[in-house]
Homo-oligomer: A and B are copies of this chain.
Amino acid sequence: MKEVVVNLPHERHYPIYIGPGLLAESERLRRHVTGTKVFVITNDVVAPLYLDQLLESLRGLDVYSKILADGESHKTLDTAATIFDALIAVPCDRETTVISLGGGVTGDIAGFAAACYQRGIPYIQIPTTLLAQVDSAVGGKTAVNHPYGKNMIGVFHQPVCVISDTDTLSTLDDRQLRAGLAETIKYGLIRDPEFANWLEANVDALLTRDSAALSYAVERSCQIKAAIVSEDECERGVRAILNFGHTFGHAIETGQGYGAWLHGEAVAAGMVIAARVSNLMGWLSSADYLRTENLLQRVGLPIRAPVELTAARLIELMAVDKKVSRGTLRLILLKTVGDARIVSDYPADVIKTAIEQLRDTESISAR
């Protein structure tokens, strides 16, 4: 088992445990449970696979659970309201620990519910998808979607620990695995050229679910994310680079209807657009742009914006992005592979140009 620590002020550091068989390790789990009441939030895909195992590890505690419908389209304020109803029906007190068992959607909404119930109760993240293990379960961002903008409603609320049982990745379908690799690749692109090299050399091992390769990918991703979150918990500055590809990706997700594209898929296409913008700005070399596109394509991820969305529509959708500041959308761009920058000053039409170039060649965007 590997342990990565997210360091935060006021002794709010917390561990991320990564390894096989962790769901069954009752003692570690219980060590992080405050009080004697636990409220598990999961979804209807994950529950049949892992809920019993989790409940077994929690035996002896006073355990309640709520099973949500799976999918991004359910990450709404209305679903959060049903969680509040369930928490208060128990009734859960401030010492109750919420446990999220599932992917990014489950973790985001469970975290939001824990953050807002009685002004904040503790929660544990048990991510069961690669995307959640490498990204969404770490760092305390919680949210639900608004019809007009992804993750528009949420707060920062850090978990007490993250337990990434890499065995759960075995039941992930290929599409989910690929979506998770998109965020993994993001870390290489924004912060770690060596990790980018490693990912290029290990695409096949990752796609065939080589256990050591997946574990290393999760661990290195968490190390990079933990370092950035420790520097800037509430995204006043550098943390924004974790959103590389996300401005375009969120616009694609919102535009296509939540759930049509997986988050990681939209981020992949978004990273290609962001890389193209970086290249048009004279930053990222054409060779590195193509390298980026090629790596994502080898993983089987979309590298073009969906045909249905025009450049004008995507730009309109981006107007509500959280990185808009005083009317200007800040972009996360690559100086080189491994070096991301936050940029407010760029030519007015560079986004439109990049999107249009990448829609022109839509024949290679087949998914």
Q: Residues 139-182 of chain A: 1 if any B CB is under 8 Å from the residue's CB, otherwise 0? A: 00101001011011111110000000000000000000000000
Q: Residues 7-50 of chain A: 1 if any B CB is under 8 Å from the residue's CB, otherwise 0? A: 00110000000000000000000000001100000000000000
Question: What's the Cα separation between A154 and B117 when bound, in Å?
Answer: 6
Question: What's the Cα separation between A154 and B114 when bound, in Å?
Answer: 10
- Would you call B324 and A93 a contact (CB within 8 A)? yes
- Would you call B94 and A319 a contact (CB within 8 A)? no
Interface: A363 (CB within 8 A) = no
- Given contacts A146-B84, A148-B88, whether A327 and B93 have CB atoms under 8 Å apart is yes
Interface: A91 (CB within 8 A) = yes
- Would you call B149 and A88 a contact (CB within 8 A)? yes
Question: What's the Cα separation between A148 and B117 when bound, in Å?
Answer: 13
Interface: A59 (CB within 8 A) = no
Q: Residues 321-347 of chain A: 1 if any B CB is under 8 Å from the residue's CB, otherwise 0? A: 010111100000000000000000000
User: Which residues 194-226 of A have a CB within 8 angstroms of B?
Assistant: none
Q: Residues 248-289 of chain A: 1 if any B CB is under 8 Å from the residue's CB, otherwise 0? A: 000000000000000000000000000000000000000000
Interface: A120 (CB within 8 A) = yes
Q: Residues 89-114 of chain A: 1 if any B CB is under 8 Å from the residue's CB, otherwise 0? A: 10101110000000000000000000
Nearest-Cβ distance from residue A89 to partner chain B, whole angstroms:
8
- Would you call B93 and A84 a contact (CB within 8 A)? no
Nearest-Cβ distance from residue A141 to partner chain B, whole angstroms:
7
Question: What's the Cα separation between A146 and B87 when bound, in Å?
Answer: 11
- Given contacts A77-B77, A84-B146, A95-B325, whether A155 and B116 have CB atoms under 8 Å apart is yes
Could you say which of B91, B118, B320 contacts A91, with CB atoms under 8 Å apart? B320
Interface: A228 (CB within 8 A) = no
Nearest-Cβ distance from residue A75 to partner chain B, whole angstroms:
14
Q: Residues 222-236 of chain A: 1 if any B CB is under 8 Å from the residue's CB, otherwise 0? A: 000000000000110
Chain B, residue nearest A112 (CB): B116
- Would you call B326 and A35 a contact (CB within 8 A)? yes
Could you say which of B119, B141, B146 contacts A154, with CB atoms under 8 Å apart? B119
- Would you call B84 and A156 a contact (CB within 8 A)? no
Question: What's the Cα separation between A31 and B360 when bound, in Å?
Answer: 48
Could you say which of B117, B148, B234, B322 contacts A152, with CB atoms under 8 Å apart? B117
Question: What's the Cα separation between A81 and B147 when bound, in Å?
Answer: 11
Interface: A115 (CB within 8 A) = yes
Chain B, residue nearest A87 (CB): B152
Residues of B within 8 A of A320 (CB): 88, 91
Question: What's the Cα separation between A234 and B10 when bound, in Å?
Answer: 13
- Would you call A91 and B319 a contact (CB within 8 A)? yes
Chain B, residue nearest A319 (CB): B91
Nearest-Cβ distance from residue A28 to partner chain B, whole angstroms:
22
Residues of B within 8 A of A141 (CB): 119
- Provide a sorted-by-A list of 10 A–B residue pairs whose CB atoms are within 8 angstroms: A35-B326, A77-B84, A89-B148, A91-B320, A94-B324, A95-B326, A118-B152, A119-B156, A155-B155, A155-B157
The list of the 10 closest CB pairs from A to B, nearest first, reads A93-B324, A91-B320, A118-B322, A119-B154, A116-B153, A88-B148, A155-B155, A119-B155, A35-B326, A95-B326
